């Protein structure tokens, strides 16, 4: 359970980092590009002193193709989320990204066949409550501005959230599959390094092509975003391993922990107003956490 908690804390740290960017005037895209490089450096420093030899020994592993695929998908998903936030709303982007946990849950239960025989109705009820909690916890406050529907192209209104949903689900599913079938426990610290390396290269290529002027604050933002970002993926892999790669429990559980923790942080640190639906969503998030992990010996 400790790896689940550490993964949640890592993701909450990412949330706090993003929230600070606006206050500090940090360019989000530039900070994310820098963050991927910081992730690589953090990972290399973390895995051991002989990191160079260990990394070079893994260039021909079968999972390298998955790492390249995930690295590119990280950039694409972020870009889709940014477009959804800008052209539709933050609430829609948040719901689409969090609801994507449906994909790894279904894949885990019916394709990997992990946990399907030792999950009871309480666990499944927790997963259902998690879906409802996502909608309620991201329900916009009164006065929340969204572009009028007639001003949003039809393709953007439906395609962008769908792409965020699919890409987010594919990322989690690929991590679950890789951890279950492709990488060993000793490689759980190395696998994310290759993912972030590809994402960093793709990000820098994109930023060079955009010819946007760089700011020194982006380096600062990327530094304190990158460290928890690496460990959020590493602890996710360790959490999956601790629960026999049962993503049907891990992904809803971690998402509910993130919703509950980040909502409390937003309320106490940023004085964000919570409406009735948000409070109900937080309550359901806590209840779903209990139901999801009910009776599991890993707790």
* In-domain check, residue 297: no
90 within a domain of the structure (yes/no): yes
pLDDT value of position 142: 63
State residue 189's pLDDT score.
86
Residue 59 lies in a domain: yes
Q: How confident is the model at residue 233 (pLDDT cuts 50, 70, 90)?
A: very high
Residue 296 pLDDT greater than 70, yes or no: no
pLDDT in tens, 172-195: 999 998 888 888 888 888 889 999
Decide: 264 and 121 in contact? Cβ < 8 Å.
no
Sequence-distant (≥ 6) Cβ neighbours of residue 244 within 8 angstroms: 114, 115
Q: Is residue 147 helix, strand or coil?
A: coil
Average pLDDT of the chain, as a whole number: 80
Whether the pLDDT of residue 126 is over 50: the answer is yes
- Residues of the chain with pLDDT > 70, as a percent, come to 80
In-domain check, residue 144:
yes
- pLDDT tier at 127 (50, 70, 90 boundaries)? confident
List, in order, residues 6 or more apart from 295 with CB less than 8 Å away: 120, 122, 123
Residue with tokens 């759980």: 188
Average pLDDT over residues 150-156: 56
In terms of residue numbers, what domain contains 12? 2-292
The whole-angstrom separation of Cα 185 and Cα 297 is 20
> Which pLDDT score is estimated for 1?
80
First to last CA, the chain: 5
- On whether residue 168 sits in a domain, the answer given is yes
Confirm whether 298 is domain-assigned: no
∠ Cα 244 77 35 (to 5°): 85
Measured CA distances, 67 to 174, 197, 251 (Å)? 9, 9, 20
Determine the pLDDT at residue 155: 57
pLDDT top residue among 243 and 91: 243
pLDDT number for residue 131: 79
Cα separation, 195 vs 200, whole angstroms: 9
Question: Whole-prediction pTM value?
Answer: 0.82
**Contact of 232 with 258, CB cutoff 8 Å:** no
Residue 153 has pLDDT above 70, yes or no: no
Residue 149 has pLDDT above 80, yes or no: no
- Per-residue pLDDT, averaged over 203-213, amounts to 81
Confidence tier at 150 by pLDDT (50, 70, 90): very low
Model confidence pLDDT, tens digit, residues 33-90: 899 999 999 998 888 755 555 555 555 567 888 889 999 998 888 778 767 766 666 6
Number of helices (H), then strands (E), in the chain: 12, 0
**CA–CA separation, 188 and 176 (whole Å):** 12
pLDDT on residue 195: 93
Q: Which pLDDT belongs to residue 41?
A: 93
**Res 134 pLDDT > 50:** yes
Instruction: Tell me, yes or no, whether 299 lies in a domain.
Output: no
CA distance linking residue 128 with residue 102, whole number of Å: 10
Give the residue-averaged pLDDT of 149-168. Answer: 72
What is the arithmetic mean of pLDDT over 227-231?
A: 94
Q: How far apart are CA 238 and CA 245, in angstroms?
A: 9
pLDDT reported for residue 12 = 87
259-274 average pLDDT score: 77
**Does the structure show a pLDDT above 60 at 148?**
no
Tally of structural domains, the chain = 1
Instruction: Place 248 in a pLDDT band, splitting at 50, 70 and 90.
Output: confident
The phi, psi pair for 148, rounded to 5°, reads -55, 140
């Amino acid at each position: 359970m400790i790896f689940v908690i550490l993964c949640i804390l890592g993701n909450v740290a990412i949330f706090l980092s993003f929230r600070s960017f606006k206050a500090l005037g940090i360019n989000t895209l530039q900070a994310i590009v820098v963050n991927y490089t910081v992730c690589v450096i953090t990972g290399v420093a973390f895995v051991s002193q002989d990191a160079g030899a260990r990394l070079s020994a893994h260039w021909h592993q079968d999972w390298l193709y998955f790492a390249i695929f995930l690295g590119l998908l990280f950039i694409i998903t972020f870009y889709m989320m940014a477009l959804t936030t800008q052209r539709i709303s933050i609430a829609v982007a948040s719901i689409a990204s969090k609801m994507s946990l449906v994909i790894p849950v279904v894949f885990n239960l019916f394709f990997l066949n992990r946990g399907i025989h030792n999950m009871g109705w309480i666990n499944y009820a927790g997963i259902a409550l998690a879906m409802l909690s996502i909608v309620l916890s991201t329900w916009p406050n009164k006065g929340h501005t969204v572009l009028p529907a007639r001003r949003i192209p039809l393709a953007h209104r439906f395609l962008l959230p769908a792409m965020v949903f699919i890409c987010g689900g594919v990322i989690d599913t690929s991590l679950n599959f890789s951890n279950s079938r492709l990488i060993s426990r000793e490689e759980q610290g190395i696998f994310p390094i290759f993912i972030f390396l590809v994402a960093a290269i793709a990000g820098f290529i994109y930023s060079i092509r955009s010819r946007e002027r760089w700011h020194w604050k982006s380096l600062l933002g990327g530094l304190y975003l990158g460290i928890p970002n690496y460990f959020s993926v590493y602890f996710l892999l360790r959490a999956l391993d601790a629960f026999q790669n049962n993503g049907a429990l891990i992904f809803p559980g971690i998402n509910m922990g993130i919703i509950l923790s980040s909502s409390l942080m937003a309320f106490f640190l940023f004085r964000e107003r919570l409406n009735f639906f948000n409070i109900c969503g937080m309550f359901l998030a806590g209840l779903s956490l209990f139901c999801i992990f009910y009776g599991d010996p890993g707790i």
